[in-house]
Amino acid sequence: MPGARLSRSSFVLPSVLTVLAVLALSGCGGADPTEQAAPATTSAAPSEPDVVEPAVISTDPPLGSVDVAPVTPLHVAAGHGTLTDVTVTDPDGAVLPGSLDPSGARWVATADLDYGTTYTVAATAVDAGGTSTAATGSISTVSPRTLTMPTVFPTEDSGTVGVGQPVSITFDEDVTDRAAVERRLRVTTTPAVAGAWSWLSDRTVQYRPEQYWPAGTHVVVDADVYGVDVGGGIRGQASPHVEFDIGAKKVAVVDATELVLRLYVDDQLVRTMPTSLGKSSSPTPTGTYVVMQQSRNYTMRSASYGVPLDAPGGYETPVEYASRLSNSGIFVHGAPWSVRDQGRRNVSHGCLNVSVADAGWFYANFGRGDVVEVVNAGPRLDVGDGFGAWNQSWPEWQAGSALAPPVA
């Protein structure tokens, strides 16, 4: 009707009507309201096959490397797979031996490479899926300007030596990179005895403990300098290995003011010998000596220290039971001509003169590496004169190393 107004209660929103219609429909269907709808089913997507990483072969040094140091160990490795074959050959077809680890992932050469040689490397690996991968290439080692041979003393056949014997390594070329060499030197002892290397010259380096070696020590020396550049393109020719034993503690002591040589074995006095040392014009140097070598018969020559036979004071004298103590010509030896002076005055050219009987006893009972200490005599024995290593204090000796001392 005109002017008529709808009451508020008679207006229904369309959305509400829709909801009511849905409720009505759900109430008049034929389905049991207690029944649940069956769950929807879906089909699984087909799985993708696993991706197999192909095997990757690598070498260290890498294939194609040149001027390789022979000391560098050759390694072959397989990533994402297992090595099935590794063959390394030189130009003559000789096979370089090697070892494959149990996992098959790594092969390591078990022999040093030669200088100036090209090696062919052929390797095969298989991945997890059974697919093989091969790699072939070469590496070439350096050709050195020259080689230097290290000589170790005591030698392998030296047998048992005395408690004063330092380890001495001598090179036949100058070593200008001392640190590179010293890093490759190793002394192992049983029982453990700490020691230090000290360079006496560009060709000689020696090793000693702070005190004399303990009696009964077993010493193993490894100079792993093959392939090492010792400076100026000169490389090590070999890596010697030497083992020796330390015998009983044998030390002889003579005071130049008393002229009696006292001999101790394991700190027990076993014999005394009257002696005569160097006269005032040729005094015996004060210091600690080590027996270097022994000769049943030997000829003393003044020419050994620069005085010709036909010069004033020149001589050639045969002696018995000569035990060398220094490179400069100091010996313990039989001197029958000076027996009346032995124990009384110094009349020698620097040697320790004793009777032939006493020299024979020393020769038979003391030997290489045993110690002779001379006190209150002439100028100090030089550290490089024979095995004079004990004529420096421990700090002085350590200062001769090319490497920084270990941090305490």
Q: Which domains can be identified in the chain, with CATH numbers?
A: 56-140 (2.60.40.3780), 146-246 (2.60.40.3710), 250-394 (2.40.440.10)
pLDDT score at 48: 61
**Does the structure show a pLDDT above 80 at 11?**
no
Residue type for position 76: V
* 32 pLDDT more than 50: no
Residue entry with tokens 């020769």: 363
Is the pLDDT at 181 greater than 80, yes or no? Answer: yes
Q: Which of 28, 75, 218, 351 is catalytic?
A: 351
Q: Confirm whether 349 is a catalytic residue.
A: no
Residue 319's nearest CA partner among 291, 293, 354 is 354
Task: Report the C-alpha gap between 377 and 317 in whole angstroms.
Answer: 24
**68: β partners:** 141
The proportion of the chain whose per-residue pLDDT surpasses 90, expressed as a percent, equals 81
As a whole number of angstroms, the distance between CA 234 and CA 148 comes to: 7
pLDDT at 50: 72
Using CA of residue 393, residue 397, residue 398, residue 399, what is the dihedral sign? positive
Q: Decide if 351 is catalytic.
A: yes
DSSP summary character for residue 141: B
Query: Which of 75, 218, 333, 349 is labelled catalytic?
Result: 333
Does the pTM exceed 0.75?
yes
Using an 8 Å Cβ cutoff, are 164 and 212 in contact? yes
Please report the pLDDT score of residue 406 as a whole number. Answer: 60
Instruction: Flag whether pLDDT at 348 surpasses 80.
Output: yes
